[in-house]
Amino acid sequence: MNEMKVGIIGAGLAGMTAGSYLALHGHNVTIYEQYHMIGGVAGLAEQDGYKWEIGPLLLGGFGPRETGTIVLTELGLQDQMEFILEDRGLEFPDFKLWKPKEFQGRYWRREKLKELFPEESEGIDAYYEFYTGMIDLINMNRDLELKKGLGKQFFKLRMGLKFSKYKKFVDWNAAQLLDLFFKDEKIKALFTGILADFVTKPIEFPALGIPQINIESAFDKRILTEALGMLGEPTFHYIRGGAFKIIQEMEKLILNNGGKIKTETKAERILIEKGVAKGVQLSDGSIENMDVILSSGSIPDIFNDVIGRENIPESLKEQIDGLRYMESCFFVHLGINFNPLQSQPNQLCYYYETYDIEESIERCRRGIYHKGKDGFLIYIPSIHSPSMAPEGKYAVTIYTICPDRLKEGTWEEMKDHYADLLIKEAEKKIPGLYEGIETRVVMTPADFRKRINTKRHSFGGLAPIMGQVGPSHKTPIQNLWYIGAYSESGGGISGTMWGTRTAVKQILKEI
């Protein structure tokens, strides 16, 4: 195969995954990153000997045969990293769902919910039957990718048969599904709470997505380690050193294979002649000619500014103009001088303070920040990665979803005040938190906008609204490909890696 000159915009996980595959295939890769550090939202914040992850927490997709593992194995990086199987806790104002001390089987949450909501017992059983069937299908779908030839056809047939039971739910939204199983708004909120993070209302989210956002093994890792025969449940892991470790290993791979990574180098413009991408114009005014260009980054910034609206067909303009995005996030990273596990039994806990998920989303969309009153999460990365804090100290992250733009005031003005309010809310869960602070780093939407070069920050890219898909990897412009969390593949650590792998495979096939 002839060596191609490949230009990649963005050294986030998408750009680094693409760069790794293409450099390994012998192509001449250059990655342009506007910020002074690589990693995008998979990067780190650092201060006074502490490190915090600026984005990802617990990662799906790194168990046996899962997508992240497949990518890292293909790149030869799997053995360079240490994966720690974990789970998380969950609290609502009236009930807590921490895993029991003694393992009580795959469905302990089902039994616990029946104790909490006895009048909902029938619905709870029906939900868990639905959940189990859907998880089988999710696993079959994952395995389908690895099957070939006639075996693949038979497997598809089996999947089709199994799916026929759930086909009627294809056009249903999550609110309809939960109304089918439950009456009590509190139990419905348990299964839709995470949608507040996506700023997507239950009526907008697909019913069939509900099991995927409520994986039982996320709340008890022993489902995978102790319940023999239950290995089909998806897994959740931390990576020692954080998700940034993937970026670091990819960086070595790219550089060892002749690739270049240019930081503080913004791609201002993709140069397009007669519908063909020819090169990139950089922030220092220079132009680099390329055979193929892959771009990550947000849809409006890349399509409207870097590619240029005049270069995209009307149908794509219509598609991107109609898209709805998630809102942003507010992070308070703390370095503290005592072990917070004294008060919080797990290194990650989601604290929901409201059952009205829809109203909370509505307010966020209107630019009103809840200041921790609707809920927050507390994450302690230095438990799985002790190097993220000085000896005897702990790195703690408190985070909430928030509007990208405030209805009143700016994030720059409100930053410290809102950080204080959020720490006070978190203090109710971890007493002594305020007193124990040694250092703090606050990241607002305004900081995220700078870090990843966007005019409007969205925590996860496109909102997972029924029927909404991001632009395809293959753009209408010849030799120009679109990758990353905003593209058709969607986001998440393993999701972004898998989507980028799909795009790269397509590129390699086409040339």
Among 4, 6, 8, 10, indicate the residue that binds ligand FAD (CB under 6 A): 10
Among 248, 296, 344, 346, indicate the residue that binds ligand FAD (CB under 6 A): 296
Structure-token pair, residue 101 = 């001390």
Residue 222: half-sphere exposure toward Cβ, Cα within 13 Å: 13
Site for ligand FAD contains 13 (CB under 6 A): yes
Query: Smallest gap, in angstroms, from Cβ of residue 163 to ligand FAD?
Result: 26
Contacting residues for 67 by C-beta, under 8 A, at least 6 apart: 61, 142, 494, 495, 497, 498
Site for ligand FAD contains 57 (CB under 6 A): yes
* Most distant CA pair in the chain, distance: 68
Among 196, 200, 491, 504, indicate the residue that binds ligand FAD (CB under 6 A): 491
Judged by beta carbon, residue 206 or residue 484, the one nearer ligand FAD is 484
Judged by beta carbon, residue 211 or residue 484, the one nearer ligand FAD is 484
Among 4, 6, 8, 9, indicate the residue that binds ligand FAD (CB under 6 A): 9
Burial of 304: CB neighbours in 10 Å, binned 0-12, 13-18, 19+? middle
CA 38/CA 41 separation, integer angstroms: 9
* Residues within window 326-345 making contact with ligand FAD, judged by CB under 6 A: 329
- Helix (H) or strand (E) holding 50, with range, is strand 50-53
CA 23/CA 448 separation, integer angstroms: 29
For residue 501, give Cα distances in angstroms to 18, 273, 484: 7, 27, 11
Judged by beta carbon, residue 440 or residue 457, the one nearer ligand FAD is 457
Site for ligand FAD contains 59 (CB under 6 A): yes
Site for ligand FAD contains 71 (CB under 6 A): no
Distance from CA of residue 287 to its chain's centroid? 33
Site for ligand FAD contains 381 (CB under 6 A): no
Which region, judged by CB under 6 A, interacts with ligand FAD, from 5-13, 125-133, 370-378, 409-417?
5-13
Within 10 A of 357 (CB to CB), how many other CB atoms are there? 25
Query: Smallest gap, in angstroms, from Cβ of residue 219 to ligand FAD?
Result: 15
CA 322/CA 314 separation, integer angstroms: 12
CA 132/CA 215 separation, integer angstroms: 10
Binding mask 438-467 for ligand FAD (x = CB under 6 A): --------------xx-----xx-------
CA 13/CA 484 separation, integer angstroms: 8
Among 403, 484, 498, 504, indicate the residue that binds ligand FAD (CB under 6 A): 484
Judged by beta carbon, residue 43 or residue 340, the one nearer ligand FAD is 43
Site for ligand FAD contains 193 (CB under 6 A): no
Site for ligand FAD contains 69 (CB under 6 A): no
Give the β-pairing of 328-336 and 83-85. Answer: unpaired
CA 407/CA 410 separation, integer angstroms: 8
Site for ligand FAD contains 11 (CB under 6 A): yes
Judged by beta carbon, residue 116 or residue 378, the one nearer ligand FAD is 378
Which region, judged by CB under 6 A, interacts with ligand FAD, from 3-11, 340-348, 387-395, 403-411?
3-11
Q: Is 206 helix (H, G, I), strand (E, B) or coil?
A: strand
Burial of 511: CB neighbours in 10 Å, binned 0-12, 13-18, 19+? exposed
Query: Smallest gap, in angstroms, from Cβ of residue 399 to ligand FAD?
Result: 7
Query: Smallest gap, in angstroms, from Cβ of residue 492 to ligand FAD?
Result: 4
Among 4, 24, 29, 42, indicate the residue that binds ligand FAD (CB under 6 A): 42
Which region, judged by CB under 6 A, interacts with ligand FAD, from 11-19, 82-90, 109-117, 131-139?
11-19
For residue 511, give Cα distances in angstroms to 28, 291, 413, 484: 15, 11, 51, 21
Judged by beta carbon, residue 11 or residue 253, the one nearer ligand FAD is 11
Site for ligand FAD contains 279 (CB under 6 A): no
Judged by beta carbon, residue 297 or residue 340, the one nearer ligand FAD is 297
Judged by beta carbon, residue 204 or residue 447, the one nearer ligand FAD is 447
Task: Quickly list H helices, 345-467.
Answer: 357-365, 381-384, 411-427, 445-452
Question: Look-up: residue for tokens 């009307």?
Answer: 314
- In degrees and rounded to multiples of 5, residue 22 shows phi and psi of -70, -35
DSSP calls for 308-347: IGGGS-HHHHHHHHT--B--EEEEEEEEESS-GGGTSSSS
Site for ligand FAD contains 485 (CB under 6 A): yes
Judged by beta carbon, residue 176 or residue 283, the one nearer ligand FAD is 283
Site for ligand FAD contains 349 (CB under 6 A): no
Site for ligand FAD contains 178 (CB under 6 A): no
Among 33, 86, 87, 251, indicate the residue that binds ligand FAD (CB under 6 A): 33
CA 46/CA 53 separation, integer angstroms: 9
Among 398, 496, 374, 401, CA closest to 458: 401
Which region, judged by CB under 6 A, interacts with ligand FAD, from 30-38, 132-140, 390-398, 429-437?
30-38
Which region, judged by CB under 6 A, interacts with ligand FAD, from 27-35, 182-190, 212-220, 247-255?
27-35
CA 195/CA 190 separation, integer angstroms: 10
Site for ligand FAD contains 15 (CB under 6 A): yes
Among 134, 290, 306, 462, indicate the residue that binds ligand FAD (CB under 6 A): 306
CA 484/CA 14 separation, integer angstroms: 5
Give the footprint of ligand FAD on this chain (CB under 6 A): 9-15, 32-35, 40-42, 55-60, 266-267, 296-297, 306, 329, 452-453, 459-460, 484-485, 491-493, 496
